[in-house]
Amino acid sequence: MPPRSWDIFCTVIDNYGDIGVAWRLARRLARDHGLEVRLWVDDLSSFARIAPGLDPALERQRLAGIDIRHWPQQDFPADAIPGEAVVEAFGCRLPDSFEAAMAALPAQPAWINLEYLSAEDWTRGCHLLPSPHPRLPLTKHFFFPGFDEHSGGLICEDGLIAARQAWQADEAQQLAYWRSRGLPPPAEGELRVSLFAYENPSAAALLQAWADGPQAVRCLVPAGKVLADVEKVFGRTLVAGDHASLGRLAVHILPLSGQDDYDRLLWGCDFNFVRGEDSLVRAQWAARPMAWHIYPQDDQAHLAKLRAFLDLYCRDLPPEAAAAARALNLCWNWHGDIAAAWRDAAPWLPAWRRHASNWQQALLQPGDLVARLLHFIGDIG
C-alpha cells in the first residue's frame, strides 16, 4: 500500500512553474489515488492565479480535496505532524522543526526531493540516490523527472490522454471553449499559436515575421512576462482582454487561468510556445508541435539542458524536420534569425504533429511520474 498521508512543500520562484508542478502532483495523488495530501506553499497569491477558488488570505483551506497551508518562513506550526511521505519540491529546505518531527516518528517517512526536470545524462546517475541527514536518523532520496525509462517520468493524470483525444475530435467542445475565452473559432487556413514565455528578445521579430508572412496567424498570449515584447510590435500597452492586428497577424491577450483551462488552450492550438517546466510537460500531452523557452541562466547552463531535451525529442523526426525543430528552439532561446528559423520549420509542421503524438505515447510506456514514485517508495519500504 502506498503512504496514505503526504506533505508537499513548495516555494514559489518563477511564479507558476514550481507551484504548477506541485499542484499537479498534489491533485494527482488525491484525485487518482485517493491519498490525503497537505500542500505547504509560501506564496498563496501566485498560487491563486492558477487555482481558481483559492483564497490567498487564508492560512488554511481545502481545495480539490487537498489541505492547503500557507508556509510561513518563521514560526512554522509546531504541532504539524508529518505524513507518511514528505516531498520537498525542487530542493526547498524543510523547516527544522518539521525535520525534527519526522525523526521523532516511530516509522521514518519516505522523504523525497523532487528535482527539476532535465534530460541531461548526469541526472540518470543521481536519480533515486539516497542522502542521509547529517544529524537526524532520516534519509532523503533524489527523484528526477525526465523523458525516458531511466528517470522519474512526467506527471500525467489518469484518463488525460483519452480526454484530450476526445476533445480534439469534438468540434462543439472546442467552439464552446473558444467562446468561453472570448475568441473566435479557427478560420479556414489559420494557424493558431499559444505564446507563453519569459521576456524574450526574439518575440518581436517572430511576431513581425508572422505579420509579414503568407499565412494568417492568430497568436494567443496568456498575460505574463513576454507581454512587454509583444507590446513593442504594436507600440502600445496591452492588457488581458485586448486584441491587436498587424498584417496577417492577430494577437489576443488572455488572462491567466486554471490548469485545466490552460491544458485546453494547448490542445486547441496548432503550435505552442511554452516556458519553464509545468507548461513544457503539458505541451507533450497536447500532442502538438512546440518550442520550449527554458528558464535562462547567466552561465548559459540552460542551453545544455535544452540541447539534451532536443536530442531526445527530435530523435525520431525526419532528419530535415529534426534540424528545423532544433534550430527554431535554439533561436528562441539564444541569438539567431528567428524569422528564418520559423520559415524553415513551418513546412514540417504536419510531420512534426505526427511525431508529437508518437512521442507522447512513448513517454508514458514506462508509467507516469506518480506511478514510478509510488513504486520506488514501495521498494524502499
Place of cell 548526469: 122
Q: Which of 7, 18, 99, 278 is catalytic?
A: 18
Q: Identity (one letter) of the amino acid at 186?
A: P
Residue 65's Cβ-count burial label (10 Å; 0-12, 13-18, 19+) is middle
Q: Which of 229, 263, 277, 278 is catalytic?
A: 277
CB-CB neighbours of 316 under 10 Å: 11
Using alpha carbons, list the distances in angstroms from residue 165 to 193, 300, 362: 19, 37, 16
The rounded distance, in Å, linking the Cα atoms of 221 and 243 is: 10
Q: Is 199 a catalytic residue?
A: no
The rounded distance, in Å, linking the Cα atoms of 98 and 82 is: 7
- The answer to whether the beta carbons of residues 40 and 10 sit under 8 Å apart is yes
Q: Give the angle 9-199-328 at the CA atoms, nearest 5°.
A: 105
367: left (phi over 0), alpha (psi -120 to 50) or beta: left
Q: Is 18 a catalytic residue?
A: yes
Residue 209 CB-half CA count within 13 A: 14
Least Cα distance to 10 among 63, 61, 96, 70 occurs for 70
What are the residue numbers of the active site? 18, 277
